[in-house]
Amino acid sequence: MENKETYMQKYIWDEIYSSIDYKEFEIDFFGGEPLIMFDLIKDICKTLKKDSRCKKINLYSNGLLLDQEKVDYIKKTGINFYLSFDGLWQDGGYKPYLEKKHLFEQIVKNPICMIPPKKPYTIVQNYKWFLDEFGMVPNFKIVKDNIWSKKTATIFSLEFSGLCSSYGNRLKLKQENCMPGIIEHYFLLLVDGIRNGYVDSYCGAGINHIAYMPDGSKHQCARFGSKSTKWGYDAMGMKPPHTSTGAWSKCGMGIGGPNKKEYVCEIIDFCEKGCYYDLLDNPNTKQLGLCTVYKAIYHHIIELNHWLRDNQQWQGIVIQLLKGEKYIED
């Protein structure tokens, strides 16, 4: 709920709430660090719990401001709490998280570990630490800003290969429920792309997702509101570039053209193709670093599947994933 040096005020929320005209909606609290404004969160939730249109409340936090009072409120209110872990380079490394372990265990299911371009080298360490110390399977989220270099993408590839190996070895030791969400996500995108010839993975920015900033301005997503840009929602008022099939009409990485036959990238059928912000802000830029990241992900997941294809536990997991996507019937 923080944006640079400003914080959202109650009257801003009241104006935002009065403008919501959706039949159903979800609310996400994010930052900065939203727990700084916990009193405002409680005021907002008091209103939302009385509104039948609000189907879900999500809170993304580094968790370091949690105490038992906040945890009790989060549980009582039914807020979905997501622990966002920025990595070992934070002050004190893992120590502050160990001190909060008894609190995290009450409300956290899967921590979210960010993978920024400047520090992509703690993926395996974070995976092992959260599993061994917390008994939680961390998910990983790639920071997709246009700042990935070939060098950092290569480091990411080595780390992601290590993540796949660590997961595969734990699976062979018959450890259950240890698949990182990032592997599941891109495995299913791979299947989806092979099955359909494209991936409809648009994030919803500007259509079914709007980010409100502390001053009340609205944008397709928070990235538009976090810096000065002419691509803001209010300035553009434009819809995302889809084709009739639901796939991107132009690769967000700037590779190829609007017709599929013009594409030359080997992962075009199942790549997420960046994000709406990148597509608008850099329409003609080949973001080769991020492309290398995507290619590494699919390469290592294909290798993982090949390595584990005769493992019965892996076979069972794949079957359950495909059933969950309705690709196969019971």
- pLDDT one-digit tens code per residue, 269-289: 777 665 656 555 554 444 567
Distance between CA atoms of 139 and 125, rounded to whole angstroms? 13
Q: Is residue 236 part of a domain?
A: no
Q: What is the pTM of this model?
A: 0.81
User: What was the pLDDT predicted at 3?
Assistant: 42
Q: Is residue 164 part of a domain?
A: no
Q: Is residue 91 part of a domain?
A: yes
The DSSP result for 217-240, as a single string, is: -EESSHHHHSS--TT-HHHH----
User: What was the pLDDT predicted at 87?
Assistant: 61
Q: Is residue 124 part of a domain?
A: no
Q: Is residue 150 part of a domain?
A: no
Bridge partners, 28 (sequence order): 58
* Residues 126-176: tens digit of each pLDDT: 999 999 988 999 999 988 765 788 888 899 999 999 999 999 999 999 888
Domain total for the chain?
1
Q: Is residue 36 part of a domain?
A: yes
Q: Is residue 144 part of a domain?
A: no
Distance between CA atoms of 73 and 86, rounded to whole angstroms? 25
Q: Is residue 118 part of a domain?
A: no
In the chain the first and final C-alpha atoms are separated, in Å, by 44
Range of the domain at 32: 1-109
